[in-house]
Every structure is written in C-alpha cells, then in structure tokens.
Amino acid sequence: MRRCDDRFVKVLPGVRKGSLINSHRILGMKTLASIKCPKCAGPVTFDTGTKLVKCSYCDSQIFIDRSGAGFYYAVPFMVSEADAIGLFKRWAAGSTRAKDLDKRAEVAGANKQYFPVYMFKRDVKGREEVLIEPAGSTTLPGLHELKVPAGDLKIFDATFDTSGAELINPDIEMLSYMDSLPGEAKEQALVYFPIWRLDYVFEQKRYEVVIDASTGEVFSANFPARSSTSYMIVAIIGFLAFAFEGILALSSLMTAVTLMVLTVLGIFAISFYVARRL
C-alpha cells in the first residue's frame, strides 16, 4: 500500500484512477478537497466531512470515502407493498411458524426503504468475488446476507426514481471493512438496496420482518414459533404405554403385543391430529 501526500487519503490498489482525492486546503473551518467525477471526469470540490456529493457537470451522485470516490448505485424495487404483504403471508404459513400466523398476524406497518450497503469487488487469486456489507448500522435481520443482482444495478443520480422510498444514510466507514476483505481491491461502490420493513402484531406482541424487494426473500430474526408442547405430551404418553406393555409382556405376551400395535396406531393418529390442528 502506498500513501499519497494527502494525509486524509490512503491510496488503495484497484481504486479507479482519477477517483482519488488529489488536493485539499483549509478554508475557514472546512477542509475542502477535490476529485474527478468517476463518470464524466469533471472536477468536483467537496467538504471532507461529507460522504455524498453531486457532480455539478453530469449530476451523478458520488460516494466518497477515505479510500476514494466511487459510484453510487441503486437496485430498483421489484416488489410492491401488496406483493410484500403477500410474501409475508406465504412465509407466515410455513410449518415452523405459530399455527394460523398467516391469518392471525396483523400487519401494523409497511416501510419502504433504501438501505445502504457496500459492494466490494475483489480479485481473489484471479477470480472476481463480490462481497456485500452493510453501510448503515442495523439490528434488522438479513441485511448481512443480501445478494446484489449484478444486472439490476442502476447508477444513482438525479434522474433515478426512488419511488418514494426512505433513504437510510450510511454511517459505517467503508474503510472499516477494507482490511478484513480477501484478495485485492478491484472496485467498491455504495449500493442502495430496496427493502420492505413490515411490522406485525401477534397475540399482543410486535414483530418485524424484512423483505428483500429485489428477490422477494423474507428475513426474520424472531417470530412466533409453533409450540412443541403437544408433541412432547404425545411422546411421553407413548413412552409410558410402551413401558407398561413391556412389563405386561413378561406375563401375557399376546395381550402385550396386541396393545403395542394399538399404541403405535394410536400415536400415529394423535400425531396426525396435532400436526393438523394444534
């Protein structure tokens, strides 16, 4: 890693030429620097305290980190609010979810958001790897597992339609990830990722799910799970019945075998009922 004379900037291998901050001066309280726009190469002057700057020549939004300047992308929303609720209902009907969660959960709010993530393109032993890391601090589930669909990236500039989604500001430095990434840097960018955040209420408790509005995948950290108590009771009854029949077999084998067959059939029937009804 070489260092340029600017003490604010670490020059990283693979950062696009011309995208580096090449000067800075003190003007009053502000430290100004300039870069070349990665799209049109026009000079862009900015305050080093800011991360986002707009090119006055081509209107591109440029993302600036201490590692340099990069493009700013967004993935379009492919999932409408109605689709998001439909995906949630389908997910809620899954077998590990509480019984009738799909029917009894009340959707309390749907927030359309653009969540910022960093996209790192790395050269790992001659192979390109794309890594996604959150650029905003969050406790929301799934945001560490997002997959950015390469073909769907759109340059985020003045003409990009955010379709009413709330933009979440990045508050994690790109540089904080750079040291722990594999391989060599090829390119890095900030990507606005489309999500729906759904709040729902089930038995007076509030839960939250995140829906990837590009692929429709549903992420949830905790949710009302199907109770396993009824299965436990069936298992205990079965165990006690077999224990009793085992003792009975010592005196009356035929009666015990008949009872064991009935116990197995009975347990199958009860388990089936529990699976369907409870």
Q: Which residues bind Zn ion (CB under 5 A)?
A: 37, 39-40, 42, 55, 57-58, 60
Q: Which is nearer to Zn ion, 65 or 245 (CB)?
A: 65
Q: Which is nearer to Zn ion, 44 or 165 (CB)?
A: 44
Q: Which is nearer to Zn ion, 69 or 140 (CB)?
A: 69
Beta strands 72-74 and 218-219 are unpaired
Q: At 201, is the secondary structure helix, strand, or coil?
A: strand
Q: Which is nearer to Zn ion, 104 or 154 (CB)?
A: 154
- Give the CA angle between residues 36, 42, 47 to the nearest 5°: 55
CB of 38 to Zn ion, least distance (A): 8
Write down the H helix ranges in 115-164: none
Q: Residue 254 corresponds to which tokens in the numbers above? A: 């035929």
Residue for token digits 């993530």? Answer: 117
Q: What is the 8-class DSSP label of residue 79?
A: S
Instruction: Say what the alpha-carbon torsion angle 73, 197, 109, 104 is, to the nearest 10 degrees.
Output: 150
CB of 36 to Zn ion, least distance (A): 9
β-bridge mates for residue 74, sequence order: 154, 192
Q: Which is nearer to Zn ion, 39 or 154 (CB)?
A: 39
CB of 157 to Zn ion, least distance (A): 9
Return the closest-CA partner of residue 162 out of 61, 242, 47, 231. Answer: 61
CB of 163 to Zn ion, least distance (A): 24
CB of 73 to Zn ion, least distance (A): 15
CB of 37 to Zn ion, least distance (A): 3
Q: Which is nearer to Zn ion, 41 or 98 (CB)?
A: 41
Please say whether the beta carbons of 76 and 159 come within 8 A.
Answer: no
The rounded distance, in Å, linking the Cα atoms of 10 and 58 is: 27
The rounded distance, in Å, linking the Cα atoms of 54 and 58 is: 8
